[in-house]
Structure 1
Amino acid sequence: MASEEKTASHRCFLARTHDALTLQRKICAQPDEAADRVFADILAGARETAFGREHGLARVRAPREWKNAVPIRTYDGLAPYVDRQLAGEHGVLTTDDPYAFLRTSGTTGRAKFVPTTHHWRRVYRGPALYAQWGLYFEQLGTEGLGGEEVLDLSWEPGPVRHRRQGFSVYGISERPLTEDPEDWNPPWRSADWFARDPDAPTLVDLLYNKLLRLAGRELQLIVSVNPSKIVLLAETLRENTERLVRDLHDGRDAVRPADPALARRLATVFDWAGGRPLLTDLWPTLRLMVSWNSASAALYRPWLSQLAPGVATLPFSTTGTEGIVTLPVDEHPSAGPLAVNQGHFEFVPWHDLDDGKPLPADTPTLGYDALEPGADYRLVMSQANGLYRYDVGDVYRVVDRVGATPRLEFLGRAGFQSSFTGEKVTESDVHAAVTRVLGSRRTTHPDFSGIPVWGTPPHYLIAIEWTDAHDALDLRETARRIDDTLQEVNVEYADKRRGGRLRPLRVLPLVPGAFRTVAERRFRDGVAGAQIKHHWLQKDAAFLTTLRELDLLHGCLAGA
C-alpha cells in the first residue's frame, strides 16, 4: 500500500473509532431507545426458530412476556440447542445460523461452545470494539497516530486449528482474520508482530518476538485483556535483555533485520537500568496501558505501576466469549457503563450468601433502569447469538451512572470462593494474607495460589514458588503467619479455625517458575495466550494434581 493510501486508511479507521465512541456516549445519555431496539432484534431473530416455536415466542411482544415465556438457564440448559446446531440442524436458536463456534477457556468448568453468527459479529461485537478503542485513541490524541504506536495483546489471530462436526472452533481471542468490512478490522491486522507466530512454541517466545519486532518503535499504547500478560511481557524483557541486544545487533531471519545502532543505544539504556529494564525503558513514549482492572485483576495494579511508572491505565471492556457487558467511555479506572446496545440485560439482587448455584428458572429480575447505586447484582443476559436468558453467574456492583445508564464494576463469579464450612475464602483474602506476610514487591509475576484440600477436617495449602529470597524463611513459621493473617482478613475463617472445623493452613513450596510452567502447558494445549489467567485461589485440589504431574514441587522442602 502506498504511503498516502496507508495514511488515508488510518485516518478512516480513527474516524470510525471516534464516531463509535460518540454514539456510545449518546446511548449512555438516553439508553431506552437502543435497549428497545436490541430487544426487538433478539426477539425477531428467535421467533421463527425451533427455540422460538417451543417457547411460543410468536405471542411475545414485551420484556415482561419474554420473561414468562423463556426460563432462566445456565449453559448446560442451553447446551442441547447448541448441540443441535453443531449437528447441522438449521434455525435452532437464531434464523441466522452460526458459521463458527467460540470455545471458552474452561477455567470455571468444562469448555462451552458459543454460537457466533454474521449478524451478531456485524451488528454487535464488531461495532463495540470500535467504540472501546475510540476511547483509548482519544486519550492519546488521534492527530499524531499513524498506526505504528499500538501493541495489541488482546487478540492473536491465526488459522483455524480445531473443527467440530464441520464447524470452525476457536477462542474469542484467537479467531481468524476476516474481510468483513463491518467487523473489527484494525490497521495492524497485517503487521508481522500481531498474528500468532508459528516460530514461537511457548508463550514467552511469542512475547519475546513481539519485543524484538517492536523495539525502537515509538510505542504509545499496550492493550491486553488480562493484566497478567502485560506483567509477563515485562518479565520477558527483563529476563532477555542480553538476547534482545544481541538479536538486534546481528539480526534474526524472518523476525528482525540487523540494527547495530539501535542495539548499542538499548544496551546503554539497559545498563542504566541495572540490567532490569522497565517497559518504559524500551518504549519511553509509552503513555497508556489497558487491561481488566476489577475483581482479582485489580490485584495487578501495583505491579503495572512498577513496570511502567507514570503510565496511565484504563479498563478493557467487561467482555466474555458469550457477550460484551460494559464498555468504557471515560477515564474511570475500573468500571464502565452497561452496554445496553449489546444485549438484553436483566439483574438479580446479589448477597454474599449466594453460593453460585444456578438461579431458579423463574427468578424475578430487574431491568437496568431499576438498579441502585452501591448495590450488587447477578447478571442474566440474552444475546443475538442465541444465548437467551443466560445465567452468566457474574456479579456486578453499580458504581454510579453515566447519563441514565448504570456504571458497573465486575466483582467476580457468584460463589467463586472456597467454603468448606462457611468460611467463604476469596482470592482477595488469600492475596492480602500472603502479601502482608511476604511483601508485595519481591517478584514481578504471580508466584502463589491457594488450594483448598478436603479432609477431616479440610485445610488450605498456599503454593508458593520458593526462590533464593525465601531461603531464610521457615516453612512452618511462614505458614503460621499466613494462617494468622488470613484469620485477621476473614473473620469467618478465624471462627472455623478456632472451632477446629478447619486444620491450620500449610505452605507448599514450588520450584521457581512453576506458575509459568503451568501457563506454558495450557498454551501448548491450545489455549490462547489472552485466555490464560492466574488465580490466587483455585476452585479445588485438581490444581495440586497438575503441579505433581509437572514435577513442580520443591523436592527438598515439600516434605518439611
Structure 2
Amino acid sequence: MFSLKAALAKPFAKRVFKSIQKWSNNPVETQEKVFRELITKATATQFGEDHDFVSINSHTDFVKRVPVRDYEALKPYVERVVAGEKDILWSGKPLYFAKTSGTTSGAKYIPITKESMPSHVEAARNAILMYIHETGNAKFVDGKMIFLQGSPILKEQNGVQLGRLSGIVAHYVPKYLQKNRLPSLETNCIDDWETKVDAIVEETLPEDMTIISGIPSWVQMYFEKLQEKTGKKVGDIFKNFNLFIFGGVNYEPYRAKFENLIGRKVDSIELYPASEGFFAFQDKQNEKGMLLQLNSGIFYEFIKADEFFDDNPKRITIGAVEIGVNYVMIISSNAGLWAYNIGDTVEFTSVTPYRVIVSGRIKHFISAFGEHVIGKEVEQAMQEATANTDIRVSEFTVAPQINPSEGLPYHEWFVEFENNPEDLSALAKKIDQSLQTQNSYYFDLIKGKVLQPLKITKVEKDGFQNYMKSIGKLGGQNKIPRLSNDRKIVDLLR
C-alpha cells in the first residue's frame, strides 16, 4: 500500500524533472544568465570594485580582471568577512561560514549566503526526486532515513553562524521528512565519532531503514558495527533498505565490500556536494557521471589539468569542454567566491546533458618521476584488478618510494584488505598492468626502466581508521587522500 506521501512524491518528481530538463537542454544560455546575474549583483561589493566589475561584459573581460585564486589567495577578503564587514565578496553578510580543514592554513571559512543556501538543499532533494521519476519507486519515503554527518551544533562569529556543512544542512531538512529522519538530535550532537556510530547503531537497529546516506568509508564503519552486534547482513537487518546515497569519494572501490556487508545489491545515487557549492548529482541509474548543476548560482570555468601549472593556462566555459579530458574546475558563485579553485579535477562523461565524474584533486597526484598519475587511474586499476575475484579492499592509498633500499624506485600501494589475498604479487601485477594501460607516461617509465612495477604493503585491520583518529579527523566529512606525491601519510600509516 502506498501512503499519501509516496503518492504525492511522483507528480512532484515529474515537475522537478521537467524544470531540470529546461535548463539542462539550454546549458550555454543558462550559464551566461548565471554569469550576468553574479556580476551585476556583486558590482558594488569591495571585490567587485577592486576588479572593475562595472566594465565586465563578457567572459573574456572577466578573465582579464579576475585571476584564478585558491583559498590562500582569497583569504585577505575572507578574513574581512569573518571579522564582520559587509559587502566584501557578496552583498551584505553571509548566513553561515562552513568550516573545513585546510591543508596549508589550518581551518578554512567558506561563506554561505541566503542566495547560495537553497541550492545545497534543493540539489540533494532533486537527486532523490529524479530517482523516483526514473524508477517509479517511491515506497522508501515512508521508511526511516539516515545521513551520517557532522554535528548540527553551530557557533557564532561576529553575527554569523559557523559549523560544518553537513551540520548546517541538517537544519534545513524539510518538515515532511522530519519524522523519518535519524539519528536523533541528541545522537547527532555527539562529538566523538566512534561513540556517535555506536549510538546510531542502537537507535537504528529497531527501525525500518530505507535510505542510508554518507561518505562510503564512514558508512562502512556503521555497517560493520551493525554486523558485529547482530551477526547478520545489513540487508537482513533492514529488509526495506534499497537506496544508498553517497558523496565525497568514488564508490567503486567500496562496491564489492558494501554488497558483501549488505548481502545484496541496492540502488545508489552519487552526489557531489562541497562547502563551496552543490555541484552535481547522479540523475540516471544507468548513465555514468553526475548532472552538473548549471542553474544553481554557480558559474563554471575549466582549465586542462596538464596545463594548470603553466604561466597563463586557458580558461574555458561549458560550451568548449570535451569528453574524457581531465579539467581543474573553477567556480564563481552567489556565495561570493570568484574564479575560485576548489582543488578538484573532473572529467565529462557526456555533453548532452553535461555530466561529470570527479577524477581527483589537482594537488593529489603522483608525479615524482613525471608520470602524473591521478586518483581516477589508481581507483580504476584497483577495481579492474579485483573484479571477478573474492578480494575485498577496505581502504587504500598510494605514495612514491623514491629511495628504496634496493633496486629502482616504485609506487607503493598501502592496502587494508578485508580478507587476505593468497597472491599479493599477482594482484600487484594486475594493478600495474591496468595503470600502464591507462597512463602512457607511467608505461614509458616502466618500459624505460626508470621505475620498477608497483609493490603492495598490507595495512593492519583498522589501520586507516587509527591513522585518521591520530590526526583528529575520524568521521564526518573527512576522507583519506587516494594518493599523494610524498610519503607523509604512509610514513604515519607504517
TM-score of the alignment, normalized to the shorter chain, above 0.5: yes
Aligned to 2:361: 413
Matched, 1:285 2:240: yes
Cα pair distance change 1:200/1:115, threshold 3 Å: closer
Give the SS at the match of 1:423.
coil
Counterpart Cα distance in 2 of 1:312 and 1:398: 26
Is 1:451 the equivalent of 2:399? yes
Name the CA distance, whole Å, in 1 between partners of 2:99 and 2:250.
Answer: 23
Letter of the structure 1 residue corresponding to residue 144 of structure 2 = E
State the match for 1:248 in structure 2: none
Listed as ranges, the matches of 1:241-252 within 5 Å are: 241=230
Cα distance per residue 1:403-440 (max 9 Å; x no partner):
xx422222222353212112334445555369848996
In structure 1, give the amino acid aligned to 2:233.
L
In the alignment, the residues of structure 2 paired with residue 223 and residue 108 of structure 1 have an alpha-carbon distance, to the nearest angstrom, of 30
Pairing partner for 1:488 from 420, 430, 433: 433
Q: Alignment partner of 1:240: what SS?
A: helix
**AA at the equivalent of 1:134:** L
1: CA distance between counterparts of 2:376 and 2:34? 36
Moved more, 376-385 or 127-136: 127-136
CA drift at 1:521: 4.2
Q: Distance in 1 between matches of 2:428 and 2:229?
A: 37
Identity value in percent: 20
* Aligned pairs for 1:525-544 within 5 A: 525=472, 527=473, 529-544=475-490
From the superposition, tell whether residues 67 and 170 of structure 1 become closer, same or farther in structure 2 (CA, over 3 Å): same
Q: Which has the larger displacement, 500-509 or 109-118?
A: 500-509
- The answer as to 2:153 corresponding to 1:159 is yes
Residue in 2 that maps onto 1:125: 120
Q: What are the superposed Cα offsets for residues 55-104 of structure 1, whole Å, 9 maximum, x if unpaired?
A: 11122234343333322222222111111212222211111312331123
Amino acid at match of 2:280: T
Counterpart contact for 2:193–2:474, Cα < 8 Å: no
Q: 1:333 to 1:231 in 2, by over 3 A?
A: farther
Change over 3 Å in CA distance of 1:11–1:40 after alignment to 2:
farther
Alpha-carbon separation, structure 1, partners of 2:461 and 2:264: 30
Structure 1 position 184, deviation (Å): 4.8
Secondary structure of the corresponding residue to residue 220 of structure 1:
strand
CA distance in 2 between partners of 1:19 and 1:389 (Å):
33
Q: Which residue of 2 aligns with 1:257?
A: none
2:168 to 175, 180, 188: 175
| Structure 1 segments unaligned to the other structure (5+ residues) | 1-6, 242-274, 548-552, 554-560
Seen in structure 2, the aligned counterparts of structure 1 residues 529 and 147 have a Cα distance that, compared at 3 Å, is farther
Are residue 84 (structure 1) and residue 30 (structure 2) matched? Answer: no
Partner of 2:25: 29
One of 273, 280, 287 as aligned partner of 1:326:
280
Deviations 1:462-508 (A, max 9, x none): 334589947x87xxxx5x65665554334444654565644775654
Q: How many Å apart are 1:334 and its aligned residue?
A: 4.0
| Paired residues of 2:69 and 2:341 also in contact (CA < 8 A) | yes
Match of 1:462 among 413, 421, 429: 413
Aligned to 1:150: 145
Deviations 1:422-459 (A, max 9, x none): 2334445555369848996344622x432334438754
Q: Which residue of 2 aligns with 1:546?
A: 492
Q: 1:175 is paired with a residue of what secondary structure?
A: helix
State the alpha-carbon separation in 2 of the partners of residues 433 and 9 from structure 1. Answer: 42
Describe the shift of the 1:510–1:126 C-alpha distance in structure 2 as closer, same or farther (beyond 3 A): closer
Q: How far 1:172 moved relative to its partner?
A: 1.2
Matched to 2:71, the amino acid is Y
CA contact (8 A) 2:331 2:340 kept: yes
Segments of 5+ residues of structure 2 without an aligned counterpart are none
SS of residue in 2 equivalent to 1:119: coil
TM norm structure 1: 0.73
Query: Is residue 52–residue 65 contact of structure 2 (8 Å, CA) maintained in 1?
Result: yes
Aligned to 1:272: none
How many angstroms apart in 2 are the aligned matches of 1:427 and 1:440?
22
1:367 is matched with which residue? 317
Q: Which has the larger Rg?
A: 1
Provide the rounded CA distance (Å) in 2 between the counterparts of 1:422 and 1:368: 29
Asked if 1:297 is matched to 2:251, the reply is yes
CA contact (8 A) 1:20 1:130 kept: no
1:258 corresponding residue in structure 2:
none
The CA deviation at 1:284 is 1.6
Could you tell me the TM-score, scaled by structure 2's length? 0.82
Alpha-carbon distance between aligned partners in 2 of 1:375 and 1:435, rounded to the nearest angstrom: 21
- Aligned length, in residue pairs: 483
Deviation at 1:538, TM superposition (A): 3.8
What SS is found at the alignment partner of 2:372?
coil
**Whole-Å Cα distance in 2 between the matches of residues 374 and 57 of structure 1?**
34
Aligned Cα root-mean-square deviation (Å): 3.8
Match of 2:339 among 371, 380, 389: 389
Q: Alpha carbons of 1:505 and 1:48: their partners in 2 closer, same or farther (altered >3 Å)?
A: same
CA drift at 1:221: 2.1
- Distance in structure 2 (CA, Å) of the matches to 1:443 and 1:437: 8
Residue 349 of structure 1 and its aligned partner are, at CA, apart by: 5.5
Kindly indicate which of the two structures has a greater share of residues assigned to strand: 2
Please give the secondary structure, in 1, of the residue aligned with 2:218. Answer: helix
